[in-house]
Amino acid sequence: MQFSAILTSITMAAALFAGPHGALQAQTKESAKADSTILEMNEAFKKGDRKRLSALLPQVRGHALEPWAAYWELRARLESAPNPEIVDFLQRYAGTYHEDRLRNDWLLLLGQVRDWGTFMAEYPKFRMNDDRTVRCYALLTDANATGADVAAQVQDLWLSQKDADEGCAMAAEQQLKAGKLKPHVAWLRARQGMENDRLRVASQAVGLLNKDWADKVNTIYARPAVYLDEKLTAILPRTKELVTLALIRLAAEDPAMAALQMEKLRWKTQLSQEERSWVWGVIGKRAAQRLSDGAMAWFANAPDKLAQDEQLAWKVRAALRAA
């Protein structure tokens, strides 16, 4: 939101009505001062300057953008704010965007500190419900309280997350331990992380299966080619998945080298078609991103029905470029 543009509109409107009257001109000057304070508070919020926010808040009482100022001031110290003060804010600005946005922030905090009682009381009031992490916390509490089958929803939310987060990882771990979510889903999540250069996503996902395996993921991320050269077989399911992660990582770094690896007999015979297709999809995608003429040939090794959405998008781009 462009706060400066909003403030400009408010100031212009005030000037329009002020005319030559001294009293109105004085009001306009006072309004301009408050506008400046709002902008100063916005900057203080970006810097995390809690003391400055608290000092400036009284100066903007009654301003059209007071709800934003109050939100910034409380949000900056939400971790230490007592629950009654938070509830007071939510009631004071009931029905506004600021109420729902702060409730979103509070729900995330309640999940982090495991205050499930307060979380369950506040979650139904969250109107926008547009935060995947909050939704994962809600599914976690629902499964614990009622035994509801939430595995499919947790899987969809977890695999749609761009970065590593606590809420969906917690919900996924719960479902994995209950046997309602297959370990393969965690490996899919790890592949996403490795493909998109997000090590924490990959190590977090594999760590849910076995904490000791997360160290191996870190090693693979740092030296995928070395790991692959040392592996002659990939028979066990865990080894097959780790090899797949190494090939994906290598493809992200050097698609041509990864393509050479994929031509080796041991990976052709020991990896499944699904595993090979994912790797070829990454090879093709990275080649397309680098405007390589070989992208379409590498994409041809990955059937569309097994390709990921982003891989297909880059395949289309490569085809258009080739045409």
* DSSP H helices in the chain: 3-18, 22-47, 50-56, 66-75, 83-92, 97-112, 116-122, 132-146, 151-160, 166-177, 183-195, 199-209, 213-222, 224-230, 237-253, 255-262, 265-270, 273-289, 295-299, 309-322
pLDDT, position 291: 96
Task: Spell out, as residue ranges, where the chain has pLDDT lower than 50.
Answer: 1-2, 7, 10-19, 23-24, 26
Q: What is the pLDDT of residue 323?
A: 81
Query: Which structure tokens are listed for 221?
Result: 């991320």
pLDDT at 21: 54
* Beta carbons of 284 and 315 less than 8 angstroms apart: yes
- Residue 152 C-beta-side C-alpha neighbours within 13 Å: 2
